[in-house]
Amino acid sequence: MRYYYEPFKLKAWVRDNQNLRVNSSDDSAALKPDRLTQLEEDFHLASETEEGIKSWFHQLSRRERNASTHLLQKEWEEPHALPVLRDCLKKQAHEDHRLFKRIVDVTYNTCDVENLWDLVKLSFGVHHQKIQKRMKQENQHRKWYTLLSSPDPVYHLAKTAYESDLTFLEELETFYLTENYPLYKLVMIEAFGMADEDFFLKEKEVYKSYFNTVKSENQQKLAESLIRQCDLDNVEELGRFIYERLKTYMKKPSLWRHVGEEEKKRFSSWIIRKETERLLRGY
């Protein structure tokens, strides 16, 4: 499966996260919003040349270097801007363990696993002892080791959360991934794509909440997974939930374009039977 992402504007991030702190005891706590905005403007000027970026980054304070990770969430005119910034951050990752959670945060916000995951792995590999001390959950360090060894972190997160004895959200929090991150949506699609009926029943509120936040194509993928992998009589609440939002492929064909033919027909037959039974019962 290929993943796509839309980068978030730094100013939007500043607006929505003015009180954000990576760690309450971390002396690299977030800069003031006006300084973050100034970083963006300075980087824009420096990005005309590769040497300009390197020189700009070199004169930043440690706190500013760590905060510059959020520039990775913005698109820049110069094609070399982000690759050079990532190279600068590789050197910073060797020097400061505090960069770890910042890079994780940016990766989860942008879904740019392809370009940023190596930075996460590098930071963890160099500073794993210091990072481990800040991990509060049992076996959290071991779980991170396993995640960073996986060739497909999105799939690994989905499978781990799906198979966990914890709830889906509780397991993902082990990896600092919460439902406000865009990457969470990709993990959800993967998880419900592999899920069995018991999982849909266990996480039905998560399913409905997530369904209401995603675009039509992903809603259709979620509907297809439920129809394909469950006996609809056993998950009637979720089946009716889908019907309320997507109707059937005969009534709303545009809302079923990305659903397989067999699943479309199966769902339509099921809801017609259920509605007929309702009418015969008089309600």
At 20, the pLDDT band (50, 70, 90 cuts) reads: very low
pTM check: above 0.85: no
pLDDT confidence of residue 25 = 33
> What is the CA 105 to chain-centroid distance, rounded?
10
The secondary structure of 67-108, three-state, reads HHHHHHHCCCCCCCHHHHHHHHHHHHHHHCCCHHHHHHHHHH
pLDDT confidence of residue 280 = 87
Q: Per-residue pLDDT tens for 208-261?
A: 998 998 899 999 999 999 999 999 999 999 999 999 999 999 999 999 999 999
Crossing angle of helices 236-246/216-229, nearest 10°? 150
| C-alpha–C-alpha distance, residues 37 and 65, integer Å | 14
pLDDT confidence of residue 8 = 43
Domain residues of the chain, as ranges?
A: 1-132
Asked whether the predicted pLDDT for residue 14 surpasses 50, the reply is no
Q: Per-residue pLDDT tens for 159-211?
A: 999 999 999 999 999 999 999 999 998 999 999 999 999 999 999 999 999 89
pLDDT confidence of residue 55 = 96
Both tokens of 209, joined, read: 């909440």
pLDDT confidence of residue 5 = 41
